[in-house]
Amino acid sequence: MQLKKYLFFLCICLNTFVNGQDTSLVSLGKKEVTLINWQLYYIQNPNSTFENTAPVKIKHSEIPVDSIDRKHFSGVCWFRKIIKVDSIFPNSRLSVRLSMVGAAEIFINKKRIATAGTVSSNEDSEFLINTQRYVFSYDFKKDSVYEILIRYSNHALESSYSSGGNNSFGVSMEIANTEDTLNDIMRDRLSNSNFGTMFFVFFMTLFLVHLAIFLFNRKDRSNLFYSLFCLFVSTLVAGLFAYRFTCINSILQVTGLFIIISPIFIFTILPYMLRAFFSLPPLRWYRAIVITAFICIASFIFSFPYHGLLMLLLVIIGSVEALRSLILAFKLRKKGVKIIGTGLVLFTLSLLIASLGIYYAGKHSSDNQVFGIIYLLIFFTGILSIPISITIFLAYTISFTNRSLANKLIEVEKLSARSIEQEREKQLLLASQNEMLERQVTERTYKITEQKKIIEEKNKDIIDSINYAKRIQAAMLPQEEEFKSVFNDSFVFYQPRDIVSGDFYYVTELKGQKLIIAADCTGHGVPGALMSMVGSNIINKLTHENKIVDPKLLLESLHTQLRQALKQDQKGSSNRDGMDVAAVLITEKEIIYSGANRSLIYFDNDNILREIKPTKTAIGGSHIENITIEQHHVPINKVKQFFLFSDGFADQFGGPDGKKLMVSKFKQWLIQIAPLPLKEQQHFLSDQFKSWKKDTEQVDDVMVIGIRV
């Protein structure tokens, strides 16, 4: 109820400063009648009769409060008037205008014609209005008698009793021509609404402009809070003027809600706005106040208890927090704090003075005209103080920014000129350095070209030497005719890693016995080739000069003489070069095999692969002076074909996964080609090796010898 009274008195003051006068009668047209000489009844029950009740005769139905008998008036009463329509008015529909402060129900000839506000004997359900423009029409017939009854309620007059004021009481009724009345009301409302329209448009424009600025620059939230502040100020102004110029209860209640709620949001947003303008730390705890504001609004809408006290508390907290933010900005010497602070102080003082003015209006209604002018000035000052101060602040900020940008531009121009000069010096330096580098590059390119020529010449000499060594090594190896003369049905797959090879083979025939030796020397290329020549010479000397063809004796003698030739038998020698050798002697009855780290693979008459393991020792390259080689004898009639080979074939990387071929894969291929002629076996092994190796580098010299017995 305190909020209803506050709203009611606020609208009285609004009526005062808009019209600049009290609620006395204003003429509506040339032909009008103000009804006087009323009867006043202090009756509570709306269904009571007037015959047994003594009326109080009054001249006007609108009288001062202090003339009311407080003993009888308890907030509700009746006004009664009997009229007879004469020839002043035409025989047509006329308008009736009410000027009142309170709530009223109008009856003509016992029939309710109109309602203004909500009349009730209960103060909580009563709804009061303050209007001079409540109009309805009625068909008054010429020379007819009409009983006019007005049921009136105004429990707020209790405040006037206690304060000793002399506010208006009751209803003033006039009858006039309908067309003149409506035209005059329209002109009056349009004239008086200029204030409200001007303020509403002004603040809504600020709201839209600063909201648009925020949408384009969302990092600066000061424009958002300021736009919301202007929005709620505009709703407050719209609510006040809408409340003044309407008598429809639903619209009055909605506008009254705007009038009450808007200040809550204004004071809730104010601290956020100030902190955003001055770039102060945000108020995290203040979120609870915002939530409480919404709870407060909900409690007001649904009429929960203590909402008035809660609203007042929110306004106080918002004001205190705004003041605290202003003081903090002042301590930090934020730019524009004095400008915005002045606007905030004027805004707060104007609201305080306005509140005191409302209280003063309740006691001294006779000074309404003077009070209206003063209140109008205060209203202008309060409403415009914050936007004007913020506009000045923004203008100052823009001016300061422009000056700063101008100074920065001058600095940038100086730095740019300096940078251009430095860049010019840099370009000159780079040009000289480039020239010097070009000379150096030219000189070094010439040197590199000359060195390349020397290297190419030396490389050509080396390649030529190696190719010549290849011819020497090829001459050392048995020729194909010589090999075929000893082993007619045979093949040799011989593929060095480099130009020359560390693998070699040797064949000879003595006294009807055929000897074949396959050796794999340490290393490959030129070092391996040198070892192969040393080994081949020693084997040739042992077989032809010493007449040694026994594989066991031959390999043991080769070990001794190779150590002597490479001086490995001398103390302190670091030479560890040697070779892996397999030797096979074929007689009329048997095949004799001895091997040093090189095995013998043969196929029996059933084409089953069999392997004879070698002795696990190398020829040469060891500190052991004498070695013992095992010797194996296989009847010749049990051997169909045999193979001697170095480790280069099985050690080659390639295939789909880039892995080593391995001896197991090599044996599978031997089993696969065993039934084929020897020439086809050679082609198969050559093709499979190339397919397995593909683009992978060959890792070692390759040698495979196949002989069919």
Q: Which of 16-30, 207-221, 385-399 tops mean pLDDT?
A: 207-221
The model's confidence at residue 413, banded by pLDDT at 50, 70 and 90, is confident
Mean pLDDT (the chain, rounded): 79
> Residue 287: its pLDDT value, please?
63
Which residue in this structure is represented by tokens 């397919």? 691
> Residue 540: its pLDDT value, please?
93
Q: How many Cβ atoms from other residues are within 10 Å of residue 82's Cβ?
A: 10
CA-to-CA distance for 263 and 289, rounded, in angstroms?
14
The mean pLDDT of 145-158, rounded to a whole number, is 81
In this model, does residue 577 exceed pLDDT 60? Answer: yes
The model's confidence at residue 536, banded by pLDDT at 50, 70 and 90, is very high
The mean pLDDT of 38-49, rounded to a whole number, is 74
Rounded to the nearest 10°, the torsion over CA 621, 622, 628, 634 is -40
Written as six digits, the tokens of 491 are 């093949």
> Residue 93: its pLDDT value, please?
61
Least confident segment among 15-19, 39-43, 147-151, 671-675: 15-19
> Residue 166: its pLDDT value, please?
44
> Residue 3: its pLDDT value, please?
44
Q: Which residues, 6 or more positions from 565, have their beta carbon under 8 angstroms from its beta carbon?
A: 534, 538
CA-to-CA distance for 406 and 401, rounded, in angstroms?
8
CB 102 within 8 A of CB 90: no
Decide which of 642 and 324 is more confident.
642
In this model, does residue 151 exceed pLDDT 90? Answer: no
Q: Which of 169-173, 313-317, 512-516 tops mean pLDDT?
A: 512-516
Decide which of 229 and 603 is more confident.
603
CB 629 within 8 A of CB 556: yes
> Residue 438: its pLDDT value, please?
86
> Residue 649: its pLDDT value, please?
95
In this model, does residue 239 exceed pLDDT 60? Answer: yes
> Residue 159: its pLDDT value, please?
56
In this model, does residue 584 exceed pLDDT 90? Answer: yes
- Indicate the helix (H) or strand (E) that contains 525: helix 525-544
Residue 528: helix, strand or coil by DSSP? helix
Q: Which residues, 6 or more positions from 75, have their beta carbon under 8 angstroms from its beta carbon?
A: 121, 123, 126, 153, 154, 155, 157, 158
The mean pLDDT of 381-404, rounded to a whole number, is 78
CB 243 within 8 A of CB 260: no
> Residue 646: its pLDDT value, please?
95
Cα angle value 342/348/349 (rounded, 5°): 90
CA-to-CA distance for 264 and 258, rounded, in angstroms?
10
Domain ranges of the chain: 19-188, 191-385, 477-708
233 residue type, one letter? V
Residues counted in the chain: 709
Q: Which of 172-186, 239-253, 664-678 tops mean pLDDT?
A: 664-678
The mean pLDDT of 476-491, rounded to a whole number, is 92
CA-to-CA distance for 508 and 628, rounded, in angstroms?
24
> Residue 158: its pLDDT value, please?
61
5, 231, 616 from 315: Cα distances, Å: 18, 17, 105
In this model, does residue 666 exceed pLDDT 50? Answer: yes
Least confident segment among 203-217, 248-262, 331-345: 248-262
In this model, does residue 320 exceed pLDDT 50? Answer: yes
> Residue 223: its pLDDT value, please?
83
The mean pLDDT of 557-585, rounded to a whole number, is 89
Q: Which residues, 6 or more positions from 145, have their beta carbon under 8 angstroms from its beta carbon?
A: 82, 83, 84
> Residue 672: its pLDDT value, please?
94
75 residue type, one letter? G
Q: What are phi and psi of 112, to 5 degrees?
A: -70, 125
Rounded to the nearest 10°, the torsion over CA 381, 386, 387, 391 is 120
Q: What is the CATH number of domain 19-188?
A: 2.60.120.260
Residue 648: helix, strand or coil by DSSP? coil
The model's confidence at residue 2, banded by pLDDT at 50, 70 and 90, is very low
Q: What is the CATH number of domain 477-708?
A: 3.60.40.10
Residue 629: CA count within 13 A, CB half-sphere? 30
In this model, does residue 595 exceed pLDDT 80? Answer: yes
The tens digit of pLDDT for each residue in 107-143 reads 888 888 888 878 887 877 787 776 665 777 777 777 6
> Residue 478: its pLDDT value, please?
92
Least confident segment among 119-123, 183-187, 234-238, 363-367: 363-367
> Residue 496: its pLDDT value, please?
93
In this model, does residue 358 exceed pLDDT 60? Answer: no
- Indicate the helix (H) or strand (E) that contains 476: helix 368-476
* Nearest CA among 176, 202, 5 for reference residue 99: 176
> Residue 652: its pLDDT value, please?
95
* Nearest CA among 596, 530, 594 for reference residue 559: 596
* b/e 354-367 (16+ beta carbons within 10 angstroms → b): beebbebbbeebee
**Alpha helices (H) along 217-336:** 222-244, 249-277, 287-301, 307-331
Q: Which of 154-158, 343-347, 668-672 tops mean pLDDT?
A: 668-672
Residue 511 falls in which region: left (phi positive, over 0), alpha (psi -120 to 50) or beta: left
In this model, does residue 542 exceed pLDDT 90? Answer: yes
> Residue 11: its pLDDT value, please?
45
Decide which of 441 and 238 is more confident.
441
* 334 CB-contact burial (10 Å; exposed 0-12 / middle 13-18 / buried 19+): middle
CB 652 within 8 A of CB 693: yes
The model's confidence at residue 511, banded by pLDDT at 50, 70 and 90, is confident
In this model, does residue 15 exceed pLDDT 80? Answer: no
In this model, does residue 703 exceed pLDDT 80? Answer: yes
Written as six digits, the tokens of 682 are 């050679």
The mean pLDDT of 369-390, rounded to a whole number, is 70
CB 207 within 8 A of CB 227: yes
> Residue 311: its pLDDT value, please?
67
The mean pLDDT of 147-156, rounded to a whole number, is 84
The mean pLDDT of 355-382, rounded to a whole number, is 58
The model's confidence at residue 30, banded by pLDDT at 50, 70 and 90, is very low
Q: Which residues, 6 or more positions from 471, have their beta carbon under 8 angstroms from its beta carbon?
A: none
DSSP strand pairing (93-108 vs 168-177): antiparallel
- Indicate the helix (H) or strand (E) that contains 660: strand 659-660
The tens digit of pLDDT for each residue in 271-304 reads 888 888 888 887 776 665 666 666 666 655 555 5
Q: How many Cβ atoms from other residues are within 10 Å of residue 597's Cβ?
A: 17
